[in-house]
Amino acid sequence: MQPAHEIAAAVREGSISPVEVLDAALARIDAVEPEVRAWVQVDRDGARRRAEELAAARDRGELLGPLAGVPVGVKDIVDVTSFPTRAGAPLFAHYNPANDSAVAARLRHAGAIILGKTHTTEFAYLDPAPTRNPWNRSHTPGGSSSGSAAAVGSGMLPLAIGSQTVGSILRPAGYCGAVGFKPSLGRISYAGTLNLAASFDHLGPICTCVADAALALSALAGHDPADPHSVDAPVEDYLAAIAEPRAPRLGVPRAYYRGVADAEMEAHIEDIIQRFELSGAQVIEVAMPGTAPEISEACQPIMRVEAAVAHSERYAAHKDEYRANIKALIEAGLATDSDAYARAREFVRTLRQAMSERLDTVDALILPTAPGTAPASLETTGPGIFCGPASFTGLPAISLPSGIAPSGLPLSIQLIGPQLGESKLLTTAAWAESVLNFHAHPPL
């Protein structure tokens, strides 16, 4: 399927109808969904009514929004009034939202067609969804935004909404050969979306290219008093920002990921760095304030306590119905004392300051998205360890597909940018994307 920015432009100028775009998406879903299992529910009738409304508005000469006619999937922890919110959980957690979430309302306002709800792990944690990796159906698609990443990676959609508390946008996007973009904490309102750990929870797009990430952010960003973490900062013209990308200055924290990334991934990152340098980038060694395991462990008390708070009433009534991983997280949170939580919060403040200092000297940090390719198991979602620093600090990060391993699975890199520096990060990512020139598709 065409990228979202091309679809929207064609719909606005009248060279393609939103109904034709929808038909193409539905045909692709019919062809590959039985193998991939990305969707909880597809609303064919509702999507068609919306496509016809947009087509009629275009015929009347009305101005359509930046996502005009773009079919979008929404992760099933995000409230959309035309669908129940199920959260990948048993029936006790299902409900019918009375109002759209902030992100769903912005999608509609921008002219998108919300096609359906995509699978998530249970309560957006580690217990897997039924989704399969489109590159190899015996491998995990990652989580927790499993369905959103697999739907985009398999060509069913150009754009889907995911959420990330640690690595749940970047990692599944990387595993499925898509672009995953997590903006700064609070850049996209989280109102109307189920929390896992409120101070780490982000929303962002999974898409086919950097231009689509820029377009999506332009449509979805903005201050929202209903979200306590929402930032009141100007929404820039992100598409204009990526129009003339220049070779960046990149910081590489080798000591942070060395020994945690597998040998194939370490060699791949070194190859990518060489390619970037040959194309004009400056790459310097930087030091992270700790190794990947150290940083991850130091922040776990926040995850545990905030998950226990988010689930307090529900868990008290339905403890035995929770699956193993989310149950263990909540139990650990209930057993965590306030001093451990306070120490973790102080560590996060120190981590954010240290990373911001490093980002004062470079345009972005470059590191792997994940330690390796998608694991050959459907009982795991893979380790999100390398995505933690950006999530814990609220810094923007993007995952780009960067190659194909001998196994036939996608490889990916991660770029981390400065706080509220989405324009700079997207510009760097657009340059990197042009050098990587990744155009592979899964063998579906």
> Tokens 């995990």 sit at which residue?
140
> Tokens 């529910």 sit at which residue?
41
Rounded Cα distance between 423 and 237, Å, is 8
Q: Interhelix angle for 210-220 vs 4-13, to 10°?
A: 70
Q: The tokens of 341 are what?
A: 């939580």
3 state SS of 255: helix
- Catalytic residues, by residue number, are 75, 144, 168
> For residue 162, which of 82, 234, 103 has the smallest C-alpha distance?
103
Rounded Cα distance between 74 and 80, Å, is 8
Q: Which residues contact 163 (CB under 8 A, 6 or more apart)?
A: 75, 77, 78, 120, 124, 144, 145, 169, 193, 196, 201, 202, 203, 204
Peptide bond between residue 423 and the one before it cis (omega within 30 degrees of 0)? no
Looking at residue 13, its amino acid is E
Q: The tokens of 336 are what?
A: 């965590």
Is the Cβ–Cβ distance between 213 and 398 less than 8 Å? yes
Burial 199-224 (b: 16+ CB within 10 A, else e): bbbbbbbbbbbbbbbbbbbbbbbbeb
Count CB atoms within 10 A of the CB of residue 34.
Answer: 8
Q: Which residues contact 320 (CB under 8 A, 6 or more apart)?
A: none
Is the Cβ–Cβ distance between 124 and 147 less than 8 Å? no
Q: The tokens of 192 are what?
A: 């109307």
Is the Cβ–Cβ distance between 164 and 182 less than 8 Å? yes
CA torsion angle 24 29 35 40 (round to 10) = 160
